[in-house]
Amino acid sequence: MEHYHCDQMMCHSSDICPQPISSAEGTEDGSGYEEALDIVEINKDLNLHEGDIRLMTGRDRNIVVGNQFRWELPVPYVLHESLDLNAKGVVLRAFDQIRLKTCIDFKPWEDEPHYIVVIQDDGCWSYVGNQHQGNQSVSIGQWCDHLAIVEHEFLHALGFWHEQSRYDRDEYVTVVWENIEKGREHNFLKHSSNYTTTLGTMYDYTSVMHYNKDAFSNGNGSTIITNLPEYQDVIGQRLEMSSNDVLKLQKLYNCTSAVTFRMSCSFEDERVCDMTLCAAGNTSWERVGSTKAGPFSDHTSLSSQGENQTESAHGNGTANQNGGGSFMHCSTVSGKEGDGAKMQSRKMNPKRQIQCLQFFYFHSGSDKDQLNIWIREYDREDEETTYLMGQITGPPTSHWQLHHVSLNATRPFQVEFEVRKGAGNSLGGFSVDDINLFETECPHHVWHIPNIDHFLINSSVGTSLLSPRFITRQSYGLQLLLHLYSDHFGVFFRLVSTDHDDQLQWPCVWRQVTVSLLDQSHHIQQRMSKQISITTDSERTFIGDSGEIFHYWDNPRKLGHLINDTNRESYYAGPNLGYRTFLSLDAFRSGNFIKGGSIFFFLSFDDLSTLRLSGSDPPKPQIWSNMNHVTLMKTDDKGTCLNQMMGSTTTIVTPSFISSFAVSLPTGTIFTMLTATVALISGNLPLTL
C-alpha cells in the first residue's frame, strides 16, 4: 500500500456534525496502490511455494514441524541493515503482539547458533520452522510492512503452514481449480495427514494464515469458496492473529501462558476476578447490570449501536437497553464527602519494569467525585508502599470512556481502584468494566469518536472528521483525519503547529506514527485491531504553488495552511499522509470496532532514530514528564481499607517514575468529547490541560 497526501479537511469529532469539505483524493506520491496489497499480489512474480514460502533444497515440503523444528525461546533475531526503518518498527510491534498473546518471546541475537535475520528482499517470505541452518532469513520487503503480514511471515518461521493447505480443508472450503492462474495450481495442494497435524484445532476461516478468496485467480472468479457463505469475505483477513492462531501456537510450543499478559476482567463471574472489595462510610463497590443514572448496560456486551447512556437521569432512559452482563459500580449518591471504597486486584509479579492498565469507566456522579488509581508494591518483608498513579474527576460522561494508566512496578504489586465521594449532589457514581493489564507501553494518545454511526449515515462521500490536536512526548503537534469514501474510509495524519515549534528540531524525521482502530472485545488477547504505521523520512518533498520545494516534515508554520476551525481555533497544518483504504465499511461493521456507537483510535509517535544505528535493539520506553495537580480529599479513616492504606503502609502521592500518558492540546470545544479531567502525578514538571 502506498502513502498519499491530501487536501486540508475541517470537521471536528467533538461536534459529530459533518459537512462536505475538501476531498482526500490527493496526488499520488510515486507508483503505488490505493489499497493494501496482499502477500500473493506482492509476490506474484517470485514463484515461491504457496506464494510466500521458501523451501530448503532436498527437504520434503510436507515434513512435520516437530520438536526439532521448534525454536528455543526466546527466539534470537537480527534486524538487517537492508530493512526499511518503518519495517523495523512494525516488526518490533509484531513481536509485542505475539508476546502479549502467546509464550513466544524474542531477543536480539547474542551469538546463538540459530537465529532469524529479518531482511528486505523481494517480497514477503519465510521458511517454515527452525531449519537449523544458522542465520535463517525472513523477508519483509516493499509493501510488506504491515502488522498482519509480519505476523503471517513469523508464524511461518515459528512452524505454521497455510490454513487452506490442511488435509481436512475440503470439509470447509472448495477450491475452484478452473479459476486458478495456469501454472499456479500447485499452490493449492493439501498437506498429507501422514506428515502434518492440525494440532486438534478447528478449521479457522479467520486465521491470518489463510489465503483470500481470489488468491492466484485468473480473473474468472474466486479460487476459494467457503462452505459457510458468511465467511467468504472473511478469509484472508489481514488484521491480526486470530484466537485460533494463538491457540495453535501455544499448542505447538506446549505452553498456556503469555509473556506480557497479566490480567483481564469483565466481571461476568460472581467472584469478580478474585478482587478484594472494601469500603469506608456509605460507599461501596457492587457488581450490577445497570444503574438508574447510567450506564444502562455493561461495556462487555454493549451492542454496536448505542445512544446517550444517561437519558434516564432526565426521565427518558431504560435500564438494560443493550447489554446483559455485569460491571462494577460505586455509588456516591448518599454518604458524606470523603467516603471511599476500594477494589483491589490479586497480587501479581512483574516481569518487566513497565505495565499498562487499560479499563473502561463511566462517570455519572458529581464533578467533584474522584476515581483514583493506586498500586501497592510489596518488598521481601511484605511491607507495602502505595503509589497514586492516576486520577479521574470532572463532569459526568454520557458514554463508556476508555482510559490508560502507565505503571512501573518492579516488585510484587496490586492495582487498586478507589472512589471517593466529593462535594455536591450526585445522581450516580463511578462504574468500571473490561480491565486489562499487560507489560507493554500504553498508547500515547486515544481519539474517542462517539456516535460514529451518525457520521457514517449522515455524511456524504468526501466528508472528513478531524481529531483533537495532540502534543507528542517530544512536543510536536499531531492530528488524525478520518475520510469517508463510498465503501471504505481512509486514515491520514499531519503535523500541526503548537506553542513549542520554535524549540523543536525541523524537519521532524525518523518518527513512526502508528494508528490503531481498537477491536473492543473485552479480553485484550482476543482482539484483532486494525493497525498501520508510517515513518517520517528525510527524503519526502513536495512542490509548492510557486514552484518552491518543501520538505514534507518541516515546520507547519513554514509550509502549512492556516486553519480556522469550527471551534474558533487557529493553527497551521502541514500536508496529510496516510492510507486511502484503511478499512472497508463492511469489515468495519462486522468486527468489534463499534460499541455503544463509539470507536477508539490509538495513536503513538515513536522516535526510531536509534534503530538506524543499533539495528536490532528496540527503542526503550521514553521518559516524559507530565505532572498535573492532583487533589486528594480528606477522608474518614475508620474503614478497613482506608485504615490499611493510611495506617500500615507508606503512601506516596508523587512517585519518582515518569508516566507515558500523553495529553492533547486544548482546542476549545474539541474537548467536549473528553468529558473527564485526567490528572496524573509523575515527575516534577506541572502541565495543565
Verify whether residue 2 is a known catalytic residue. Answer: no
Instruction: Name which of 459, 483, 458, 479 is nearest 470 in CA terms.
Output: 479
Residue 33's pLDDT band, with cuts at 50, 70 and 90, is very low
Q: Which of 153, 163, 416, 439 is catalytic?
A: 153
Could you report the per-residue pLDDT of 230-264, keeping only the tens digit for each? 999 999 999 999 999 999 999 999 999 999 999 99
What are the grid coordinates assigned to 600, written together? 477508539
Domains and CATH numbers, the chain: 39-253 (3.40.390.10), 264-307+325-439 (2.60.120.200), 446-612 (2.60.210.10)
pLDDT at 526 over 50: yes
The three cell numbers of residue 640 are 478497613
* Summary mean pLDDT of the chain: 84
**Is omega for the bond preceding 396 within 30 degrees of 0, making it cis?**
no
Q: What is residue 635's DSSP assignment?
A: -
d(C-alpha 497, C-alpha 504), whole Å: 11
C-alpha closest to that of 176 among 235, 221, 223, 236 = 223
Q: What SS3 state is found at 642?
A: helix
**What ranges in 133-234 are assigned the alpha helix state H?**
147-158
Cβ atoms of 671 and 479 closer than 8 Å: no
- Interstrand relation of 173-175 and 677-679 (parallel, antiparallel or unpaired): unpaired
Residue 654 in this model has a pLDDT that exceeds 50: no
Asked whether residue 152 is marked as a ligand-binding residue, the answer is: yes
Residue written as grid cell 450506564: 295
Looking only at the bridges linking them, the beta strands covering 477-484 and 464-466 are antiparallel
3-state secondary structure of 26: coil
Whether the per-residue pLDDT at 617 is higher than 70: the answer is: no
- The Cβ-side half-sphere exposure at 530, using a 13 Å CA radius, reads 23
**Would you say residue 338 has pLDDT above 70?**
yes
Distance CA 377, CA 607 (A): 31
Q: Tens of pLDDT along 464-477?
A: 999 999 999 999 99
Q: Cell triple for residue 547?
A: 514552484
Tell me the residue type at 185: E
Q: Which of 36-45, 89-98, 288-297, 314-323 has the lowest mean pLDDT?
A: 314-323
Please give the Cα distance from 366 to 427 (Å, whole number). Answer: 7
Q: How many residues are there in the chain? A: 689
How many alpha carbons fall within 13 Å on the CB side of residue 256? 0
Please report, rounded to a whole number, the percentage of residues in the chain having pLDDT higher than 70: 80
Assigned C-alpha cell, 566: 469550527
Cα separations in angstroms, 405 against 29, 445, 629, 653, 682:
39, 12, 16, 15, 11
- Can you tell me the distance from the alpha carbon of 613 to that of 285, in angstroms, rounded to the nearest whole number? 51
Residue bearing cell 463471574: 269
The number of beta carbons lying within 10 Å of the beta carbon of residue 69 is 17
Give the three cell numbers for residue 255: 505452553
Report the chain's terminal Cα–Cα distance, integer Å. Answer: 37
Number of neighbours of residue 486 by Cβ within 10 angstroms: 8
Q: Identify the three-state secondary structure at position 429.
A: strand
Taking phi over 0 as left and psi of -120 to 50 as alpha, with beta for the rest, 47 belongs to: left
pLDDT of residue 566: 78
Q: How far apart are CA 417 and CA 437, in angstroms?
A: 13
pLDDT at 665: 34
For residue 461, CA distances in Å to 336, 483, 489, 581, 674 come to: 53, 8, 9, 14, 27
Taking each helix axis from N to C end, the angle separating 147-158 and 85-101, rounded to the nearest 10 degrees, works out to 60
Q: CA 635, CA 654: separation in Å to the nearest integer?
A: 19
Cα(583)–Cα(517) distance, integer angstroms: 10
Q: What is the mean predicted confidence (pLDDT) over 316-335?
A: 75
Cα 459 from chain centroid (whole Å)? 26
| Residue 68 DSSP class | G
Q: Which candidate, 496, 500, 497, places its Cα nearest to that of 474?
A: 500
Residue 674 has pLDDT above 80, yes or no: no
Spatial neighbors of 573 by CB under 8 A, at least 6 apart, are 8, 479, 494, 495, 496, 497, 556, 560, 561, 563
The arithmetic mean of pLDDT across residues 374-384, rounded, is 90
User: Quick one: pLDDT band at residue 150, thresholds 50, 70, 90?
Assistant: very high
| Per-residue model confidence as pLDDT tens digits over 416-466 | 999 999 999 999 999 999 999 999 999 999 999 999 999 999 999 999 999
pLDDT digits (tens, 9 = 90+) for 118-144: 999 999 999 999 999 999 999 999 999
